[in-house]
Structure 1
Amino acid sequence: MSNVSWRISAPPRWSALILGLVAGVTGPALPATAAPVPVVTRAALDPSLTAGRGANVAFLEQEAENAATNGTVIGPDRTAYTLPAEASGRSAVTLDANEWVEFTLPRAANAITVRYSIPDSATGGGITAPLTVKTRLGARTMALTSEYSWLYNQYPFTDDPQAGLLHPDWWITECQCVPVETSPAPVINKPFRAARFYDEQRLLLGHTYRAGDKIRLIARTVPTTIDLLDSELVGPPKLDLTAVNVLAFGADPTGRHDAAPAIERAIAYAKKVHRRVYLPPGVFQVNRHIVVDDVTITGAGNWYTIVKGRSVALSEPAPDGSIHTGVGFYGKYAADGGSRDVHLSDFAIEGDVRERIDTDQVNGIGGAMSDSTIDGLHIRHTKVGLWFDGPMSNVRVTNNVIVDQVADGLNFHTGVTDSLVRGNFLRNTGDDALAAWSETITDSGNVFDHNTIQTPTLANGIAIYGGENTTVSNNLIADPVREGSALHAGTRFGAEPFTGHLLFRNNTTVRAGTQELNWRIGLGAIWFYALQGTIAADVRVTGDHYLDSTYNAVMLVADWPVKDLYSIDEIKFKDIRIDGTGTSVLSARAGGSASFENVDARNVGAVGVNNCGRFLFTPAGSEFTLTDRGRNDGGWLGPYLPNVITCDDRPPVVPPPAPARW
């Protein structure tokens, strides 16, 4: 399927999630041995290579492949539908029963997050298995589950490993045919396209461990793949004695009884007396939307206050098309006037979404919320972490952790304006991690800044679909898995045109650029796609770093049926560093133009510019024109000016060396 030669071996297809933790299991303390120097990374990179980019998070990341282990290191491998490809850094450690991986804490910590995978059941739906967490004071058990991972087949996927093709008339790259026009229909191996292997779980250790202490993770009953461990020193619960406490209105903090009515009573009272609502430490069961408007709701911290619900099938479809409901905090829909002055902070939202049904409104945050803030939440196991349907304006989404989503992490959909997404950490989204989608009504004036995105399993890290005056700056994006890349702008999905400016500024991508399965070509770390119209706004890409790109650093492409109709015009690249490409610096598969100033490249796997233009191969050269504005080092640009045809449809991949300081 791929000519990417990072692959070492084909690992077994295991996977899972960590749902809950089971209470303490005693055991012998770890032996006192000299602790190795811990390797701390950001997006599996030396942190010095990402300075100033991404979210400022409270935890430190340690990759399992850098830790001590008697298990098996898998990868590196970027081939979609394999365990290494979905791992941070494209490598992990697989443990058989009683094997272990051991991390040395780089600084004091009392809490950990483990990203892992365990097998699915033979019939789908997942299994559970224990993982022992051993420290010098004893041992505890995490209850791992694969109930929220493992999807199969074609979009929008299924959790049935034995299902036939969901769309037998779609192009299937594995057989290079259109099944509906083929007799007999193609035979596919089952399970077909198993994916979305990983999940994660957090654990408060009940004690503060010092730097140099060791955390050993031991598999017990099934093969368990450990991707990484995040360690953190969590402060005490936050108290708000002046707010309206939901306990006073009958909310159950044990999670046994439905707390939604009590929370709603507390909200109603708080609005009357103009006070905040406080969710104290505990687990609060909520199985439907809490509608919020003109209210502030704060928790004790997202490690302590958990709002958790189960998926509920509706007796008949809701007006919005949903056939399920679940936990979520929703503003009123824009058609009903929307909500204003909503402020949510310092609690966790845990859903129960196990499959992708695009009509379902089972998102952590939803509706329309103008003049509002979302800060310090931890959101997992919902369909989309935050899906806003405008028109709406002035929402600030800051400092949240959004993980293990079936679809997007956040989407500004339809007329969201003058809003900010900053300082958020996203991992393991099932579609675009961050997106702005100007369907029907233009999004305008939005900023995506200083976010960290890791391992989106489908689509892109940050995707902009039309809109006006959008800025994407200072983000760190790593390891997109399939059918997308790190940064993307496209005239797609019925979006309004790009107008005003579109700025990509000071972003870092690493191990980006996946194989587009339908086209069977590699995408760029940043890619522009003219599908439903020309891209002709003021587009500037400035100060980005593209590190260890699987294929191209930059791609500009039009869909084949419209390649002679739409173009990508006057994209301006300036002050860019490109360290490592599997193929070219630039792949042009469209008509149009781009200029380059101070774009430095090294460790380029193929020709600097792969210029196919519109594939007409005219004597005048390519229909895509390049302009040299000076100071472009590395020799990658000069031989190909202004429009030399250098078209190699699928050049071989040459894996570059690891990124290094410039």
Structure 2
Amino acid sequence: MKTRAFSSSTFGVLVAVGMGLLANVACSTAPDPPAGSGESIGGGGSGAGAGGTGGDAGSAGAGGQSAGSGGAGGQPPGPSGGGAAAPFVEYEAEVMETNGVVLEPTRAFTAVASEASGRQAVRLSNVGDYVRFKNQGPSNSIVVRYSIPDGGSDFWTTLSVYVNDELRHKLPVTSRYAWTYGDHNHFNQPDQNNPGLGVPHHFFDESRALLSDIPAGATIMLRKDASDTAAEYVIDLVDMETVAPPLPKPAGYLSLIDDCGGTPNDASDDSGALQHCIDRVQGEGHAGLYLPPGEFRSLSKPLSLSNITVRGAGMWHTTVSGYFARFDCWGNNCKYHDFSVFGDTIQRKDDSPENAFGGNGSSGSLLENIWVEHVKVGYWTGADTNGLVIRNCRMRNLFADAVNFYGGTSNSIVEYTHARNTGDDAFASWSPADRALNRKNVFRRNLVQVPWMANCFGIYGGEDISVEDNVCADVVQYPGILIARQFGSHPFSGMTRIERNTLLRAGGSAYNEEHGAFKLHAAQGLLQHVTVNDLEIIEPTHAGIHIEGPAAMDSIWFNKVNIKKPRTAAFHLSPGSNGAMDAAYVVATEAPVGVIDQSQGQFKILPGAGNAGW
């Protein structure tokens, strides 16, 4: 069995792909983790997943082939990038034992497998179809990334989970939070959920559950039983994890249940109790607000708070759910720890603030050990935010960004965080020219998987922005990393540093263009002051490095870049690109073409020492 092992002790990532283990991504030079970064605790007990499949074009299966029986598999060395520390082990369905259909690898947009991790998955269509694997270590929880046919926003069913051939859990699944339709003209439009538009995409969602203890060596099986009523299930991956017991209430904290009348695990609206407790903490000088184990629903209004600490019992144990599961910090210094936010967003509407965390005041705030799903944005910062820290979080199955550092946000960090299935840039720093300049923001040691729209990392203007030691895998339509004068951004100043990152199967086709895995785009002005060091680009969908104008570029440096198996070329210079970049120790392997130059010679690659293969 090939796995991804996300190790909190090595701060590394073992990355598996559909055709076998591709890379052991680990950094021995990682700094000591921040407090709590290796914890297996987490929040949320709702277990409510979602999904969608069916109707995929170009993803015909491979005839029900089996693949392996759960052995450990080899783990060859790989890229030098970092990645998020995380306490779960990831198992790819396409290398599990199965009697279902293993979907052929594809990157064709609208094919369900194109949005799967490793660009492969397994379809279970008949009663009795299963995927099965051996648990590599002890665990007591499961996350399944899956897709079922679009049954509308109210279709729920189950998938059966077996341990050592005994039924352990009926995992809830739904099509509510998946399936988007139409081309880019329907992006952010009211009809985006209309199947009549065609162009289906955004197929996958996830479901999670706490289970009783599962020992190492136990056999885990997902099976379509007669009571599991979706026409088919496409299984992408499974995450297994050992979850610690719930965290107790800290001294001096108010309890949402005992002190403010919150009622977990029922259909009642807890918005009033939540806001009442927040107000009491702020008004009476308590140390903070404790959210006990359970699911609390916020159904009537967002939560308004400032200068407060909110702690849950763990991201697997405490969940705030519902359409108004939103924490708006209006007075800075909001600290959030150890719970989940599961919203109820079913389409992207940019005029609706369906963000799990935000507000005008994010300065001095902290988001730690937080799990976010089914909202538009995980964290959208208020203008002029300073000193926000986001770490050890999980942001998945969103309709837009996981995090956007917006409008003058500075000295802020996202680290050790996992994003998957985002509907816009997973992590962005956007510095529009009509706002203050973004300065000294850092994205480091994060893992991004399968953004279904936009990039893993998008940097739009600003001063001294850094993207360091990250892994970006399986971008569906866009680059893995985009550095752009776009969206009315400020110029780049100081030095934008892109260092020790890995891009796996990045790049894609969108807006009638083939985007490279790493892209520099001078769309609205001069792009300069960018240095790229120790970049690994593996099997990009199109070119490895992509340059696009129409404005000029200068003061651009690439050093120590490995480009492996690009489908088109090592470099693509688009029509209208102009300026120059320096390239040293840039090595391309198995590139069909070294440079596709459509700039008519107006863009120059200035070669230094150590280049090869292009």
TM bin, normalised by shorter chain, reads 0.7 to 0.9
> Partner residue of 2:539?
548
SS of structure 2 residue aligned to 1:84: helix
TM, length-normalised to structure 2: 0.84
User: CA shift at 1:476, angstroms?
Assistant: 0.4
SS of structure 1 residue aligned to 2:587: strand
Pairing 1:226–2:260 present? no
Q: Equivalents in 1 of 2:125, 2:107: separation in Å?
A: 23
Q: Equivalents in 2 of 1:227, 1:264: separation in Å?
A: 39
- Report if aligned partners of 1:255, 1:282 keep a CA contact under 8 Å in 2: no
Alpha-carbon deviations, 1:216-265, whole Å to 9, x = none?
Answer: 10123321000000000001111124122111211112243222222222
Q: Equivalents in 2 of 1:511, 1:292: separation in Å?
A: 41
**One-letter amino acid of the counterpart of residue 114, structure 1:** V
SS of structure 2 residue aligned to 1:252: coil
Q: Equivalents in 2 of 1:159, 1:279: separation in Å?
A: 37
User: CA shift at 1:126, angstroms?
Assistant: 5.6
SS of structure 2 residue aligned to 1:264: helix
> Partner residue of 1:313?
none
> Partner residue of 2:56?
none
> Partner residue of 1:449?
444
Q: Equivalents in 1 of 2:606, 2:520: separation in Å?
A: 18
> Partner residue of 1:93?
122
1:41-440 alignment, distance < 5 Å = 48-50=77-79, 53-98=82-127, 99-121=129-151, 124-125=152-153, 127-136=155-164, 137-153=166-182, 154-157=186-189, 190-205=196-211, 207-219=212-224, 220-221=228-229, 222-242=231-251, 243-247=253-257, 248-271=259-282, 272-287=284-299, 288-310=301-323, 326-332=324-330, 339-367=331-359, 368-439=361-432, 440=434
- Report if aligned partners of 2:69, 2:132 keep a CA contact under 8 Å in 1: no
Alpha-carbon deviations, 1:613-655, whole Å to 9, x = none?
Answer: 2xxx4xxxx1111212201133x1xxxxxxxxxxxxxxxxxxx
**Structure 2 regions of 5+ residues with no counterpart?**
1-17, 20-45, 51-67
Alpha-carbon deviations, 1:454-476, whole Å to 9, x = none?
Answer: 11111111001111110001010
User: CA shift at 1:50, angstroms?
Assistant: 4.8
Please give the root-mean-square deviation of Cα atoms over the aligned residues, in Å.
Answer: 2.1
Pairing 1:612–2:568 present? no
Pairing 1:36–2:22 present? no
> Partner residue of 2:9?
none
User: CA shift at 1:75, angstroms?
Assistant: 2.3
Q: 1:126 to 1:527 in 2, by over 3 A?
A: farther
Alpha-carbon deviations, 1:313-357, whole Å to 9, x = none?
Answer: xxxxxxxxxxxxx2101111xxxxxx2221101000000000111
Higher Cα Rg, which structure:
1
| Count of matched residue pairs | 536
SS of structure 2 residue aligned to 1:370: coil
Q: Equivalents in 2 of 1:347, 1:405: separation in Å?
A: 17
Alpha-carbon deviations, 1:184-224, whole Å to 9, x = none?
Answer: xxxxxx4421110000011111x211111111101233210
**One-letter amino acid of the counterpart of residue 370, structure 1:** S
Alpha-carbon deviations, 1:1-23, whole Å to 9, x = none?
Answer: xxxxxx99xxxxxxxx97269xx
> Partner residue of 1:578?
563
TM, length-normalised to structure 1: 0.78
- Report if aligned partners of 2:475, 2:506 keep a CA contact under 8 Å in 1: yes
- Report if aligned partners of 1:35, 1:212 keep a CA contact under 8 Å in 2: no
Q: Runs in 1 of length 4+ with deviation above 4 angstroms?
A: 157-163
User: CA shift at 1:79, angstroms?
Assistant: 0.6
User: CA shift at 1:449, angstroms?
Assistant: 0.4
Q: Equivalents in 1 of 2:386, 2:355: separation in Å?
A: 19
Alpha-carbon deviations, 1:385-415, whole Å to 9, x = none?
Answer: 1111211100001010000001111111101
Q: Equivalents in 1 of 2:609, 2:414: separation in Å?
A: 34
**Structure 1 regions of 5+ residues with no counterpart?**
1-6, 9-16, 22-33, 41-45, 164-189, 311-325, 333-338, 637-662
> Partner residue of 1:487?
481
Q: Equivalents in 1 of 2:365, 2:155: separation in Å?
A: 40
Alpha-carbon deviations, 1:155-178, whole Å to 9, x = none?
Answer: 125566656xxxxxxxxxxxxxxx
Q: Equivalents in 1 of 2:568, 2:452: separation in Å?
A: 22
**One-letter amino acid of the counterpart of residue 291, structure 1:** S
- Report if aligned partners of 2:47, 2:209 keep a CA contact under 8 Å in 1: no
Identity %: 32
- Report if aligned partners of 1:39, 1:62 keep a CA contact under 8 Å in 2: no
> Partner residue of 1:320?
none
Q: Equivalents in 1 of 2:124, 2:72: separation in Å?
A: 20
SS of structure 2 residue aligned to 1:507: strand
Q: Equivalents in 2 of 1:265, 1:391: separation in Å?
A: 28
